[in-house]
Amino acid sequence: MPFKRYVEIGRVALVNYGKDYGRLVVIVDVVDQNRALVDAPDMVRGQMNFKRLSLTDIKIDIPRLPKKKSLIAAMEAADVKNKWENSSWGRKLIVQKRRAALNDFDRFKVMLARIKRGGAIQKELAKLKKQNAS
Protein backbone atom coordinates (compact mmCIF):
# COMPACT_ATOMS: atom_id res chain seq x y z
CA MET A 1 0.00 0.00 0.00
CA PRO A 2 2.04 2.94 -1.32
CA PHE A 3 1.26 6.54 -0.46
CA LYS A 4 -1.22 8.25 -2.76
CA ARG A 5 -1.41 11.82 -1.40
CA TYR A 6 1.92 13.60 -1.53
CA VAL A 7 3.02 16.95 -0.21
CA GLU A 8 3.70 18.83 -3.42
CA ILE A 9 3.19 22.26 -4.82
CA GLY A 10 -0.48 22.53 -5.65
CA ARG A 11 -1.70 19.95 -3.13
CA VAL A 12 -4.96 21.06 -1.51
CA ALA A 13 -5.07 20.44 2.23
CA LEU A 14 -7.53 20.94 5.08
CA VAL A 15 -6.34 22.81 8.16
CA ASN A 16 -7.14 20.67 11.21
CA TYR A 17 -5.81 22.76 14.09
CA GLY A 18 -5.54 26.38 15.06
CA LYS A 19 -7.01 29.67 14.03
CA ASP A 20 -7.79 28.57 10.46
CA TYR A 21 -9.44 25.31 11.50
CA GLY A 22 -11.60 23.91 8.71
CA ARG A 23 -10.16 26.01 5.89
CA LEU A 24 -9.06 24.57 2.55
CA VAL A 25 -5.57 25.74 1.62
CA VAL A 26 -3.11 25.08 -1.18
CA ILE A 27 0.51 24.15 -0.52
CA VAL A 28 2.47 26.73 -2.42
CA ASP A 29 6.04 25.98 -1.29
CA VAL A 30 7.87 23.80 1.21
CA VAL A 31 9.93 25.62 3.83
CA ASP A 32 11.73 22.69 5.41
CA GLN A 33 11.08 19.20 6.68
CA ASN A 34 8.20 20.29 8.89
CA ARG A 35 6.65 23.39 7.39
CA ALA A 36 4.99 24.47 4.21
CA LEU A 37 4.06 27.81 2.79
CA VAL A 38 0.33 27.76 2.40
CA ASP A 39 -2.15 30.01 0.63
CA ALA A 40 -5.88 30.39 0.06
CA PRO A 41 -7.95 32.95 -1.84
CA ASP A 42 -9.24 34.66 1.34
CA MET A 43 -6.13 34.39 3.49
CA VAL A 44 -2.71 35.96 3.79
CA ARG A 45 -0.07 33.52 2.59
CA GLY A 46 1.77 32.04 5.57
CA GLN A 47 3.70 29.08 6.88
CA MET A 48 2.06 26.14 8.55
CA ASN A 49 3.37 22.96 10.13
CA PHE A 50 2.46 19.78 8.25
CA LYS A 51 0.98 18.46 11.46
CA ARG A 52 -1.73 21.08 11.12
CA LEU A 53 -2.63 19.95 7.61
CA SER A 54 -4.66 16.99 6.39
CA LEU A 55 -3.89 16.29 2.75
CA THR A 56 -6.79 15.81 0.35
CA ASP A 57 -7.02 14.08 -3.00
CA ILE A 58 -7.25 17.35 -4.87
CA LYS A 59 -4.23 18.81 -6.63
CA ILE A 60 -4.05 21.90 -8.78
CA ASP A 61 -1.52 22.88 -11.40
CA ILE A 62 0.51 25.87 -10.23
CA PRO A 63 4.16 26.96 -10.45
CA ARG A 64 6.07 27.52 -7.22
CA LEU A 65 4.89 30.66 -5.38
CA PRO A 66 2.21 31.88 -7.80
CA LYS A 67 0.73 35.34 -7.54
CA LYS A 68 -2.57 35.52 -5.72
CA LYS A 69 -4.47 36.24 -8.96
CA SER A 70 -2.99 33.24 -10.76
CA LEU A 71 -3.61 31.04 -7.72
CA ILE A 72 -7.28 32.00 -7.74
CA ALA A 73 -7.46 31.42 -11.51
CA ALA A 74 -5.85 27.98 -11.14
CA MET A 75 -8.30 27.06 -8.39
CA GLU A 76 -11.22 28.08 -10.59
CA ALA A 77 -9.81 26.10 -13.53
CA ALA A 78 -9.44 22.95 -11.41
CA ASP A 79 -12.88 23.58 -9.85
CA VAL A 80 -11.55 22.87 -6.35
CA LYS A 81 -14.67 24.12 -4.57
CA ASN A 82 -17.11 21.83 -6.38
CA LYS A 83 -14.76 18.85 -6.31
CA TRP A 84 -14.43 19.28 -2.54
CA GLU A 85 -18.14 19.75 -1.89
CA ASN A 86 -19.00 16.65 -3.94
CA SER A 87 -16.35 14.44 -2.36
CA SER A 88 -17.55 12.24 0.49
CA TRP A 89 -15.16 13.92 2.96
CA GLY A 90 -16.40 17.37 1.96
CA ARG A 91 -20.04 16.31 2.12
CA LYS A 92 -19.54 14.86 5.60
CA LEU A 93 -18.12 18.16 6.86
CA ILE A 94 -21.03 20.09 5.39
CA VAL A 95 -23.53 17.77 7.08
CA GLN A 96 -21.68 18.08 10.40
CA LYS A 97 -21.84 21.87 10.20
CA ARG A 98 -25.52 21.77 9.32
CA ARG A 99 -26.32 19.46 12.25
CA ALA A 100 -24.37 21.59 14.72
CA ALA A 101 -26.35 24.66 13.71
CA LEU A 102 -29.75 23.04 14.24
CA ASN A 103 -32.20 24.88 16.45
CA ASP A 104 -34.19 23.00 19.18
CA PHE A 105 -37.30 23.23 16.96
CA ASP A 106 -35.28 21.97 13.98
CA ARG A 107 -34.09 18.98 15.97
CA PHE A 108 -37.71 18.20 16.82
CA LYS A 109 -38.70 18.40 13.15
CA VAL A 110 -35.79 16.12 12.22
CA MET A 111 -37.01 13.59 14.78
CA LEU A 112 -40.51 13.64 13.28
CA ALA A 113 -39.06 13.20 9.78
CA ARG A 114 -36.92 10.23 10.87
CA ILE A 115 -39.92 8.52 12.46
CA LYS A 116 -41.96 9.11 9.31
CA ARG A 117 -39.17 7.73 7.11
CA GLY A 118 -38.78 4.71 9.36
CA GLY A 119 -42.51 4.09 9.17
CA ALA A 120 -42.50 4.18 5.38
CA ILE A 121 -39.56 1.77 5.25
CA GLN A 122 -41.22 -0.66 7.66
CA LYS A 123 -44.42 -0.57 5.62
CA GLU A 124 -42.57 -1.52 2.44
CA LEU A 125 -40.64 -4.20 4.30
CA ALA A 126 -43.83 -5.69 5.67
CA LYS A 127 -45.28 -5.76 2.16
CA LEU A 128 -42.23 -7.55 0.78
CA LYS A 129 -42.22 -10.02 3.67
CA LYS A 130 -45.83 -10.82 3.00
CA GLN A 131 -45.09 -11.34 -0.70
CA ASN A 132 -42.18 -13.61 0.15
CA ALA A 133 -44.18 -15.65 2.63
CA SER A 134 -47.06 -16.24 0.23
Binding site for another protein (CB under 8 A): 100-105, 108-109, 112
Q: In the complex, what is the shortest distance from the CB of residue 117 to another protein, in angstroms, rounded to a whole number?
A: 15
| Alpha-carbon gap, residue 41 to 56, rounded angstroms | 17
Q: In the complex, what is the shortest distance from the CB of residue 110 to another protein, in angstroms, rounded to a whole number?
A: 11
Residues 68 and 39 sit within 8 Å (Cβ to Cβ): yes
Q: In the complex, what is the shortest distance from the CB of residue 13 to another protein, in angstroms, rounded to a whole number?
A: 26
The DSSP annotation for 88-130 comes to HHHHHHHHHHHHHT--HHHHHHHHHHHHHHHHHHHHHHHHHHH
Specify the residue, 100 or 133, whose C-beta has the smaller distance to another protein: 100
Specify the residue, 91 or 97, whose C-beta has the smaller distance to another protein: 97
